[in-house]
């Protein structure tokens, strides 16, 4: 990472980015955006090996090095070991970490179980915490950037998805706490998503119905998210920020 000639700007060419959940959906778009900017990419996947290999093939068009790395992020020991495994695979530690992997389980306060609670907290909060801890340990005093992917609805919670949204609220707090803890060498920011894609199991019509209430009245798609992540990695005077990519959804009642 190096500064540009006149701006506080991080040159991505030659950096190494670890993108969790980088094989599919939002994670894939982020991986391709950072790869297009010249970063080498470690594509983490859980079960989506074929999609990971497809993403790596697309990254080859940008002339960057890309490798798949499998890990079960529902196991915190596995999550914590992932940055070391990436460093072994590439011969150097990652200096960009994007915590994109997440589920979207459905429950409510009334029907949440200890199992559903632990599962959501581990994947959406615990894994990013211990991934970031290991990432920072490997970097030492070298500069780096972490971007967490959170949800705009932490401010106006869903009636369902209770365990998930509480975990994402914790990720918001972790973003700010880690920005303080890891400064000045490592910056930590987040992108909070609104109606970007149809939720798993739903179709485009479902997403369009949700988006019809937004001020911008359209589904966002993954490109705005990927561009926002790239901005947060490149601008080296931004830390502790949570950028909403939601078409103005935060301006309307839940």
pLDDT digits (tens, 9 = 90+) for 89-99: 999 999 999 99
192 with 243: CB under 8 angstroms?
Answer: yes
Average pLDDT, integer, range 133-141: 97
Q: Across all residues in the chain, what is the average pLDDT?
A: 93
Give the residues across from 41 on adjacent strands: 17, 66
Per-residue pLDDT, averaged over 136-165, amounts to 95
List, by residue number, the catalytic residues. 164
Average pLDDT over residues 102-117: 94
Q: How far apart are CA 24 and CA 200, in angstroms?
A: 12
> Domain 16-194+221-240 is in which class?
alpha beta
Average pLDDT over residues 85-106: 96
Taking 60 as the threshold, does the pLDDT of residue 5 lie above it? no
Q: Among 125-129, 134-138, 215-219, where is mean pLDDT lowest? A: 215-219
Q: Lowest mean pLDDT: which of 7-11, 54-58, 166-170? A: 7-11
Q: Is the pLDDT of residue 4 over 60?
A: no
CA 93 to CA 86: how far, in whole Å? 7
In the three-class reduction of DSSP (H, G, I as helix; E, B as strand; rest coil), residue 100 is classed as: coil
For strands 144-151 and 96-99, give the pairing: parallel
Query: What per-residue string of b and e applies to 210-247 under the rule 16 or more CB within 10 Å gives b?
Result: bbeebeeeebbebebbbebbbebbbbbebbebbbbbbb
Range in 56-60, 162-166, 209-213 the model is least confident about: 209-213
Check whether 3 has a pLDDT greater than 70. no
pLDDT at position 9? 56
β-partners of residue 151 are: 193
Using pLDDT thresholds of 50, 70 and 90, give the confidence band for residue 2: very low
Closest CA to 92 of 112, 114, 65: 65
Task: Indicate yes or no: pTM above 0.95.
Answer: no
* pLDDT tens-digit series, residues 25-53: 999 999 999 999 999 999 999 999 999 99
- In this predicted structure, what is the pLDDT of residue 195? 86
Question: Is the CB of residue 98 less than 8 Å from the CB of residue 222?
Answer: no
């Amino acid at each position: 990472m190096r500064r540009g000639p006149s701006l506080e700007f991080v040159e991505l060419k030659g950096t190494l980015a670890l993108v969790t959940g980088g094989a599919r959906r939002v994670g894939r778009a982020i991986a391709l955006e950072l790869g297009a900017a010249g970063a080498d990419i470690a594509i983490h996947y859980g079960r989506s090996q074929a999609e990971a290999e497809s993403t790596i093939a697309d990254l080859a068009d940008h002339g960057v090095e890309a490798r798949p790395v499998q890990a079960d992020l529902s196991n915190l020991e596995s999550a914590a070991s992932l940055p070391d495994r990436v460093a072994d695979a590439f011969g150097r530690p990652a200096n960009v970490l994007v915590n994109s992997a997440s589920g979207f389980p459905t429950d409510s306060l009334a029907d949440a179980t200890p199992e559903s609670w632990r599962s959501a907290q581990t994947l959406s909060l615990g894994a990013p915490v211990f991934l970031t801890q290991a990432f920072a340990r490997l970097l030492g005093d070298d500069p780096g950037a972490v971007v967490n992917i959170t949800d705009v609805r932490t401010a106006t919670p869903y009636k369902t998805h209770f365990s998930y949204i509480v975990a994402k609220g914790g990720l918001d707090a972790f973003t700010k706490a880690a920005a303080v803890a890891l400064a000045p060498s490592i910056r930590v920011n987040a992108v909070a998503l609104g109606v970007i894609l149809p939720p798993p199991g739903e179709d485009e019509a479902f997403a369009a119905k949700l988006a019809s209430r937004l001020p911008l009245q359209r589904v966002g798609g993954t490109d705005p998210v990927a561009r926002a992540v790239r901005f947060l990695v490149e601008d080296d005077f931004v830390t502790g920020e949570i950028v909403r990519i939601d078409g103005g959804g935060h301006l309307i009642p839940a």
